[in-house]
């Protein structure tokens, strides 16, 4: 079994939890930042719109008063000296205005104008319509913020009576509000980021918990509890696939494991019998003086047991080597007919004694190891001869498949194999109950060797049987990928 | 007198080889490690060297290499506990003449040693008769006591093998190899059945039996 196998490259990455936490954090923070920015900008633009509207509106009012009520200095005065107006009517804004003539002489200005707006420089007065582009921002010495606008009164017939209108709006409160909002936003964002990261971590951990649990479940399974399963039903959909694959791997492992432990037990048993014979015979022989002939017989009997053991060891080693696949297969082109004839010839004495007819019909070319091929067919034939009663028949049919591939069917008219035995006949030491009682001398390795040989050739051996009507063994040699 | 050198550190193995080969008529020298073995092999004259691979001080491969380097071409039979193909190939490439995988039957070893000896100064076995059994290899005929034996081709081949190797114990593996060209151990009773059929024609009708069973080993053809 290829346990030395392939390990996946071990590149150490971040843990999934870290990655998820990181991603959650980034996303949550980005969303939070986006939302608060949208609110911020819309608030800012609302405030500005209101401020701009106020200023342009003031300019419009002054222009109107100057143009249409030039004589009515009271209205103008009232408008300029707004302080005189009782604080009502939703007047939020503190503003200063000044009306001056062409020679820059101040005609009228809000009381406290010069104190509040020391050294102020208004932008160039605008002649036409005023809009937000004519507004400038200015900071006073006291640190207050103002929005400034300057405009000409509506054009008169002779320009000599033109006046400049300067309006300054105190927006300090609004700026403080915006500043405050910015600070709060920063705090909210920092807290939000921390919350996002820690919640993200919790979510990631929660999300990953099934993985940890599945690992624990897997951890639980040891060699002695190979029958336990993870059960795909128990897990979320994403893990069910993994659990299923894992369970199937366990199935295969358990099967191999069972085979292996059964093999060890069988091996111990198979060795025990000859050892027992050897010990017993030697002990009994030595228990009292005996004739040379008796000693000879004991030794001869021992030799037979040793032969059995020796043969068993050789067979087992052969199979083990085949599984390690260190055994070199020396392939040549074989005439299947010729090879089958020589194997048949080898077994013909036994076949004749039992009155079993051997027939092979075929001609095919096969790219395989001659000795191994003969051994495989010989083992199959020996097996068939053993389980076919006198007067039976054995038929070998060979089919050539593409490019050196061959299928060999060997059918006998023997007792057949029970379905429950069929799966295991190729196992080492496996013998059906009939075989055990009728032919106690066999070791049960012949078919295992056949299987190994087929494996070495990249093919496989299979069996089909109807109990009472005979058995068909099939050797599949795949088309050759190498060679001429 | 054929001289054989055994270089083997396993005492029991060396001991039974020594005993068996001596009783088969060889003069045997023993060495328990590679260095002494190499020294003996290069200073004295031997006809065959039986060489174990796993040896203390100097392993079998090195011994063989050193021997061939000194142009000592004594036939070497390797004994190995592992039949990895690489080992065999390595041994044969270094100039070993044959190898045996443990566990082996002593008869098998004896046969191989005899083959090596025969191979050296080519000694064609031309014996074609034993007692009153006569064989004509060319015409594929055999007769005993003047009566022609009705043998099948493989039975004849088997009889020829027995006669040519008269006095040698032939294992089932060797018989399968020589008669049927089946180069593997088989746990079938094919050889026994064939030998029995041959006996029914060669021995059963006559009082003097030529083919003898050596239990647990194989068969041998001997003159009374």
Residues B17 and B84 in one domain: yes
Q: What are the tens digits of pLDDT across the range A43-60?
A: 889 888 888 888 888 888
- Looking at residue A427, its pLDDT comes to 83
**What range does the domain containing B66 cover?**
3-119
Residues A309 and A374 in one domain: no
Residue A241 structure tokens: 């696939």
The verdict on a CB contact (< 8 Å) between A379 and B186 is yes
pLDDT classification of A441: cutoffs 50, 70, 90: low
- Looking at residue A86, its pLDDT comes to 47
How many Cβ atoms from other residues are within 10 Å of residue A258's Cβ? 12
Strand order in the sheet with B129-130: B129-130, B133-136, B141-144, B147-148
Residues A309 and A367 in one domain: no
| Domain CATH for B7 | 3.40.50.2300
Minimal C-alpha gap between B54 and chain A (Å): 19
The verdict on a CB contact (< 8 Å) between B217 and A350 is no
- Whether B100 and chain A come into contact, CB under 8 Å, resolves to no
Residues A401 and A419 in one domain: yes
Which of B84, B181, B184 shows the shortest C-beta gap to A342?
B181
Distance CA B52, CA B59 (A): 8
Helices A172-220 and A16-68, interaxial angle, to 10°? Answer: 160
Better-predicted residue by pLDDT, B172 or A77: B172
Beta strand B218-221 with B3-7: parallel, antiparallel or unpaired? unpaired
- Looking at residue A90, its pLDDT comes to 45
Which of A302, A326, A346 shows the shortest C-beta gap to B182?
A346
| Domain CATH for B216 | 1.10.10.10
Residues A121 and A241 in one domain: no
Domain end residue (candidates: A289, A322, A355): A322
- Looking at residue A52, its pLDDT comes to 87
Which of A350, A371, A443 shows the shortest C-beta gap to B187?
A443
Whether B33 maps to a domain, the answer reads yes
Q: Which residues of B touch A379 (CB under 8 A)?
A: 186
Closest CA to A166 of A104, A75, A86: A104
- Pairs across A and B, CB distance < 8 A: 75
Residues A55 and A138 in one domain: yes
Minimal C-alpha gap between B121 and chain A (Å): 30
The verdict on a CB contact (< 8 Å) between B186 and A314 is no
Domain end residue (candidates: A291, A307, A322): A322
Query: Minimal Cα distance from B104: which residue of A?
Result: A310
Question: Looking at A83-97, A345-359, A368-382, which range is the least confident one?
Answer: A83-97
Residue A70 structure tokens: 């030039």
Residues A352 and A460 in one domain: yes
Closest CA to B102 of A317, A268, A446, A442: A317
The verdict on a CB contact (< 8 Å) between B180 and A327 is no
Minimal C-alpha gap between A313 and chain B (Å): 9
**What range does the domain containing A445 cover?**
328-477
- Whether B103 and chain A come into contact, CB under 8 Å, resolves to yes
How many Cβ atoms from other residues are within 10 Å of residue A147's Cβ? 22
Residue A93, pLDDT above cutoff 70: no
A375 within 8 A of A449, measured Cβ to Cβ: yes
Domain end residue (candidates: B72, B93, B119): B119
Residue A307 structure tokens: 């032969």
Q: Which residues of B touch A301 (CB under 8 A)?
A: 215-216
Whether A44 maps to a domain, the answer reads yes
The verdict on a CB contact (< 8 Å) between A353 and B193 is yes
Q: Which residues of A touch B154 (CB under 8 A)?
A: 345, 348-349
Which of A314, A326, A346 shows the shortest C-beta gap to B180?
A346
Whether A211 maps to a domain, the answer reads no
Q: Provide the domain count of chain A.
A: 3
Distance CA A184, CA A187 (A): 5
Residues A309 and A332 in one domain: no
pLDDT classification of A1: cutoffs 50, 70, 90: very low
- Looking at residue A88, its pLDDT comes to 47
Residues B167 and B101 in one domain: no
| Mean pLDDT computed over A347-352 | 88
Which of A314, A342, A382 shows the shortest C-beta gap to B185?
A314
Which of B187, B194, B217 shows the shortest C-beta gap to A303?
B217
How many Cα atoms sit within 13 Å of A85 on the Cβ side?
19
The verdict on a CB contact (< 8 Å) between A327 and B103 is no
- Looking at residue B28, its pLDDT comes to 92
Minimal C-alpha gap between B191 and chain A (Å): 8
The verdict on a CB contact (< 8 Å) between B103 and A374 is no
Residues A30 and A155 in one domain: yes
Query: Minimal Cα distance from A297: which residue of B?
Result: B215
Distance CA A93, CA A435 (A): 112
The verdict on a CB contact (< 8 Å) between A304 and B215 is yes
Residues A391 and A470 in one domain: yes
B223 within 8 A of B130, measured Cβ to Cβ: yes
Whether B124 maps to a domain, the answer reads no
The verdict on a CB contact (< 8 Å) between B188 and A378 is yes
Chain B, residues 184-203, CB within 8 A of chain A, namely 184-190, 193-194, 197
- Whether B83 and chain A come into contact, CB under 8 Å, resolves to yes
Residues A119 and A36 in one domain: yes
pLDDT classification of B6: cutoffs 50, 70, 90: very high
Residue B5, pLDDT above cutoff 90: yes
Residues A305 and A343 in one domain: no
Q: Which residues of B touch A435 (CB under 8 A)?
A: none
Minimal C-alpha gap between B216 and chain A (Å): 4
- Whether B101 and chain A come into contact, CB under 8 Å, resolves to yes
Whether B45 maps to a domain, the answer reads yes
Alpha helices, DSSP H only, in chain B?
A: 11-23, 34-43, 60-69, 85-94, 106-119, 153-164, 172-180, 190-202
pTM of the model: 0.63
B55 within 8 A of B9, measured Cβ to Cβ: yes
Distance CA B157, CA B170 (A): 14
The per-residue pLDDT of chain B, averaged, comes to: 84
| Domain CATH for A248 | 1.10.287
The verdict on a CB contact (< 8 Å) between B216 and A379 is no
Tokens 């089958």 map to which residue?
A340
Residue B208, pLDDT above cutoff 90: no
Minimal C-alpha gap between A301 and chain B (Å): 7
Percent of chain A at pLDDT > 90 equals: 5
Distance CA B30, CA B50 (A): 10
The verdict on a CB contact (< 8 Å) between A313 and B184 is no
Minimal C-alpha gap between B200 and chain A (Å): 13
Whether B108 maps to a domain, the answer reads yes
Chain A residues whose C-beta is within 8 A of a chain B C-beta are: 300-304, 306-307, 309-311, 313-315, 317, 321, 326-328, 342-343, 345-350, 353, 371, 374-375, 378-379, 382, 442-443, 445-446
Q: What are the tens digits of pLDDT across the range A451-481?
A: 888 988 888 899 988 888 888 999 998 887 6
Whether A214 maps to a domain, the answer reads no
- Looking at residue A38, its pLDDT comes to 93
The verdict on a CB contact (< 8 Å) between A345 and B105 is no
Q: What are the tens digits of pLDDT across the range B144-154?
A: 888 888 888 88
Minimal C-alpha gap between B187 and chain A (Å): 8
The verdict on a CB contact (< 8 Å) between A349 and B197 is yes
The verdict on a CB contact (< 8 Å) between B215 and A301 is yes
Q: Which long-range contacts (CB under 8 A, 24 or more apart) does A121-126 make?
A: A122/A148, A122/A149, A122/A150, A122/A166, A122/A168, A123/A148, A123/A149, A123/A150, A124/A150, A125/A150, A125/A151, A125/A152, A125/A164, A125/A165, A126/A150, A126/A151, A126/A152
How many Cβ atoms from other residues are within 10 Å of residue A70's Cβ? 13
Q: Provide the domain count of chain B.
A: 2
Question: Looking at A160-174, B50-64, B153-167, which range is the least confident one?
Answer: A160-174
Which of B83, B189, B217 shows the shortest C-beta gap to A350?
B189
Which of B188, B189, B216 shows the shortest C-beta gap to A304?
B216
Q: Which residues of A touch B197 (CB under 8 A)?
A: 349
The verdict on a CB contact (< 8 Å) between B186 and A382 is yes
pLDDT classification of A295: cutoffs 50, 70, 90: very high
Residue A147, pLDDT above cutoff 60: yes
pLDDT classification of A41: cutoffs 50, 70, 90: very high
């Amino acid at each position: 079994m290829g346990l030395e196998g392939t390990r996946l490259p071990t590149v150490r990455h971040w843990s999934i939890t870290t990655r998820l936490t990181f991603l959650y954090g980034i996303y949550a923070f980005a969303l939070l930042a986006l939302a608060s920015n949208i609110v911020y900008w819309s608030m800012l633009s609302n405030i500005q719109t209101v401020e701009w509207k106020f200023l342009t509106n003031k300019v419009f009012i002054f222009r109107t008063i100057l143009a249409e009520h030039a004589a009515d200095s009271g209205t103008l005065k009232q408008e300029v000296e707004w302080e005189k107006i009782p604080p009502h009517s939703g007047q939020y804004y503190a503003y200063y205005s000044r009306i001056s003539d062409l020679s820059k002489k101040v005609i009228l200005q809000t009381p406290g104008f010069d104190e509040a707006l020391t050294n102020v420089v208004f932008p160039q007065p605008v002649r036409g319509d005023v809009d937000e582009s004519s507004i400038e921002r200015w900071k006073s010495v006291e640190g207050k913020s103002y929005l400034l606008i300057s405009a000409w009164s509506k054009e008169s017939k002779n320009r000599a009576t033109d006046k400049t209108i300067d309006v300054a709006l105190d927006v300090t409160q609004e700026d403080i509000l915006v500043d405050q909002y910015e600070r709060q936003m920063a705090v909210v964002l920092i807290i939000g980021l921390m919350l996002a990261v820690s919640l993200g971590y919790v979510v990631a951990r929660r999300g990953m918990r099934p993985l940890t649990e599945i690992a624990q479940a897997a951890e639980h399974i040891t060699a002695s509890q190979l029958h336990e399963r993870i059960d795909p039903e128990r897990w979320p959909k994403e893990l069910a696939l993994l659990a299923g694959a894992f369970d199937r791997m366990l199935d295969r492992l358990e099967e191999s494991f069972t085979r292996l432990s059964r093999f060890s037990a069988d091996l111990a048993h198979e060795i025990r019998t000859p050892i027992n014979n050897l010990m017993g015979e030697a002990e009994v022989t030595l228990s009292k003086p005996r004739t040379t002939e008796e000693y000879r017989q004991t030794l001869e009997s021992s030799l037979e047991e040793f032969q059995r053991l020796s043969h068993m060891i050789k067979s087992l080693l052969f199979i083990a080597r085949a599984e390690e696949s260190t055994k070199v297969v020396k392939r040549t082109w074989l005439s299947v007919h010729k090879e089958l004839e020589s194997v048949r010839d080898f077994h013909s004495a036994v076949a004749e004694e039992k009155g079993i007819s051997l027939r092979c019909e075929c001609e095919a070319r096969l790219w395989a190891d001659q000795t191994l091929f003969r051994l495989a067919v010989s083992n199959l034939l020996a097996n068939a001869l053993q389980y076919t009663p006198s007067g039976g028949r054995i038929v070998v049919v060979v089919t050539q498949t593409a490019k050196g591939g061959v299928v060999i069917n060997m059918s006998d008219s023997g007792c057949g194999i029970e379905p429950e035995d069929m799966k295991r006949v190729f196992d080492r030491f496996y013998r059906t109950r009939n075989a055990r009682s009728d032919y106690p001398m066999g070791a049960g390795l012949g078919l295992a060797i056949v299987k190994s040989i087929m494996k070495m050739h990249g093919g496989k051996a299979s069996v089909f049987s109807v109990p009472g009507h005979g058995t068909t063994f099939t050797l599949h040699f795949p088309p050759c990928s190498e060679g001429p | 007198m054929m001289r054989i050198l055994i270089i083997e550190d396993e005492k029991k193995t060396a001991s039974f080889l020594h005993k068996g080969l001596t009783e088969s008529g060889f003069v045997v020298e023993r060495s328990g490690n590679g260095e002494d073995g190499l020294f003996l092999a290069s200073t004295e004259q031997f006809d065959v060297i039986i060489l174990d691979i796993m040896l203390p001080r100097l392993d079998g491969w090195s011994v063989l290499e050193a021997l061939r380097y000194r142009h000592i071409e004594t036939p070497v039979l390797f004994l190995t506990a592992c039949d990895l193909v690489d080992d065999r190939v390595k041994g044969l490439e270094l100039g070993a003449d044959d190898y045996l995988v443990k566990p082996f039957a002593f008869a098998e070893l004896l046969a191989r040693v005899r083959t090596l000896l025969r191979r050296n100064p080519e000694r064609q076995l031309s014996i074609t008769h034993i007692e009153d059994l006569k064989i004509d290899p060319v015409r594929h005929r055999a007769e005993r006591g003047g009566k022609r034996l009705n043998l099948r081709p493989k039975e004849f081949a088997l009889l020829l093998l027995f006669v040519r190797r008269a006095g040698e114990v032939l294992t089932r593996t060797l018989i399968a190899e020589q008669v049927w060209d089946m180069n593997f151990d088989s746990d079938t009773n094919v050889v026994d059945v064939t030998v029995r059929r041959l006996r029914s024609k060669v021995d059963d009708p006559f009082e003097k039996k030529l083919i003898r069973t050596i239990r647990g080993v194989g068969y041998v053809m001997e003159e009374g």
